[in-house]
Amino acid sequence: MSRTPGRINPAWVEVLMATANSPPGLYIVPEPDPAEPVDPIAEAAWPATRD
């Protein structure tokens, strides 16, 4: 069993943050396809990751 963490899909984090900041609050949404384009402004705010 690997103890190496997997990559977190930044697009999913963005969608979860959007739901958390909505009037109904945070709720679980399906994970978007990592190949889909994301908001470039939000992407610029993400911390750099090491590959």
What residues make up the domain containing 19?
A: 7-31
Reduced 3-state DSSP string for the chain = CCCCCCCCCHHHHHHHHHHHCCCCCCCCCCCCCCCCCCCHHHHHHCCCCCC
48 lies in some domain: no
24 lies in some domain: yes
Q: What is the pLDDT of residue 47?
A: 59
User: d(Cα 11, Cα 42) in Å, to the nearest integer?
Assistant: 9
43 lies in some domain: no
Tens of pLDDT, residue by residue, the chain (51 residues): 567 777 788 888 888 888 888 898 888 888 888 777 766 666 666 655 555
Q: What is the pLDDT of residue 22?
A: 86
19 lies in some domain: yes
For residue 9, CA distances in Å to 16, 24, 31, 49 come to 11, 23, 8, 12
40 lies in some domain: no
Query: Based on the structure, what is the number of domains in the chain?
Result: 1
Instruction: Give the number of other Cβ atoms within 10 Å of residue 42's Cβ.
Output: 14
